[in-house]
């Protein structure tokens, strides 16, 4: 009885510590500085990151998140969807100087086929830099019952082939999927499991509880779409502690040159 009592007491004491470990995942798309819904300028992007840091938040990598070594409730993971070529500008001008390794969600069909998206060589470079890579589908289609029933070949391309292509082109293991349009379905989750994915991201708001044990195929993210005030209210201003940090007057520039032909 004494052993059971001590074990229960020990669990109760540690439970709050584990329960408080969480990560807020943010998702961006393009960094052109245009007045369109999912776009953001490099200056505004950097300002948001410094705003988070000034309120005591730390930036972690997806590897940190999976390892379970992250502690506390003020952690941020940056994710970027689609593979637009301005990811290079965001990484080398803003993220790398701050030591931030983003997770990139890539829909494989378009890579290297349009001037406004990353080439495979550029994506390989970002992977070597330590950026995590996830499948964002093949054509970026809804992973739902309709696609499964009407065009199973495309369904398999979205889930299975996209993973295979990324692994072959980049020489890595891909264990993470980013749902196109954030659409989550039971048939989609079943296929992800069959394909060998362990994690998948939605665009439902909420924090990711650590360690990663439950609902790992429905991990929440806050999607930026010219709505920073709403995101800041949901993440930053829940916590009253404030540690000021000086913001830069201009965009930081990495000392590591990009791949030949890439302009920052």
- Within 8 A by CB and 6+ apart from 163, the residues are 135, 174, 177, 195, 196, 197
Task: Give how many domains the chain has, as a whole number.
Answer: 1
- For position 198, which CATH number holds? 3.20.20.370
Alpha helices in 151-209 (DSSP H): 152-156, 162-170, 186-195
Question: Would you say residue 250 lies in a domain?
Answer: no
Question: Would you say residue 156 lies in a domain?
Answer: yes
- What is residue 2's predicted lDDT score, i.e. its pLDDT? 53
Contact 243, 56 (CB under 8 A): yes
Question: Would you say residue 166 lies in a domain?
Answer: yes
Task: Please report which helix (H) or strand (E) contains residue 14, including its range.
Answer: helix 2-19
DSSP state of 60: -
3-state SS assignment for residue 105: strand
Question: Would you say residue 47 lies in a domain?
Answer: yes
Task: Please report which helix (H) or strand (E) contains residue 1, including its range.
Answer: none
Q: Which domain holds residue 197?
A: 22-235
**What mean pLDDT do residues 45-64 have?**
97
Peptide bond into 247 cis (omega under 30): no
Position 20 confidence tier, pLDDT thresholds 50, 70, 90: confident
Say how far apart CA 228 and CA 76 lie, in whole Å.
Answer: 15
Question: Would you say residue 151 lies in a domain?
Answer: yes
Question: Would you say residue 224 lies in a domain?
Answer: yes
User: pLDDT digits over 44-54, tens only?
Assistant: 999 999 999 99
Question: Minimal CA–CA distance to 210: which of 97, 107, 77?
Answer: 77
Beta-ladder partners of 30: 39
Question: Minimal CA–CA distance to 110: which of 135, 91, 90, 89?
Answer: 135
Strands 176-178 and 199-201: parallel
pLDDT at 250 over 70: no
- What is residue 68's predicted lDDT score, i.e. its pLDDT? 83
Which tokens is 34 given? 């245009």
Question: Minimal CA–CA distance to 129: which of 163, 103, 148?
Answer: 103
Question: Would you say residue 5 lies in a domain?
Answer: no
User: pLDDT digits over 118-163, tens only?
Assistant: 999 999 999 999 999 999 999 999 999 999 999 999 999 999 999 9
**What mean pLDDT do residues 67-88 have?**
95
Question: Would you say residue 246 lies in a domain?
Answer: no
How much of the chain, in percent, has pLDDT values that exceed 90?
80
Peptide bond into 211 cis (omega under 30): yes
């Amino acid at each position: 009885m004494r052993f059971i009592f001590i074990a229960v007491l020990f669990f109760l004491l540690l439970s709050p510590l584990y329960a408080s470990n969480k990560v807020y995942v943010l998702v961006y798309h393009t960094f052109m500085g245009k007045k369109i819904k999912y776009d953001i300028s490099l200056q505004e992007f950097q300002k948001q990151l410094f705003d988070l840091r000034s309120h005591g938040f730390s930036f972690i990598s997806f590897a940190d998140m999976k390892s379970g070594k992250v502690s506390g409730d003020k952690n941020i993971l940056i994710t970027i969807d689609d593979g637009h070529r301005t990811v290079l500008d965001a990484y080398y001008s803003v993220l790398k100087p701050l030591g931030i390794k983003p997770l990139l969600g890539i829909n494989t069909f378009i890579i290297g086929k349009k001037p406004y998206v990353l080439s495979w060589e550029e994506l390989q470079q970002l992977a070597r830099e330590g950026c995590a890579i996830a499948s964002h589908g093949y054509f970026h289609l809804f992973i739902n019952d309709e696609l499964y029933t009407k065009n199973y070949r495309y369904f398999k391309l979205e889930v299975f082939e996209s993973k295979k292509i990324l692994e072959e082109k980049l020489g890595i293991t891909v264990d993470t999927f980013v749902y196109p349009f954030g659409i989550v379905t039971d048939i989609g989750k079943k296929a992800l499991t069959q394909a060998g994915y362990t994690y998948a991201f939605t665009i439902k708001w909420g924090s990711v509880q650590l360690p990663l044990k439950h609902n790992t195929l429905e991990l929440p993210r806050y999607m930026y779409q010219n709505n920073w005030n709403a995101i800041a209210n949901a993440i930053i201003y829940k916590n009253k502690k404030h540690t000021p940090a000086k913001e830069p007057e201009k965009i930081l520039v990495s000392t590591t040159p990009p791949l030949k032909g890439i302009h920052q």
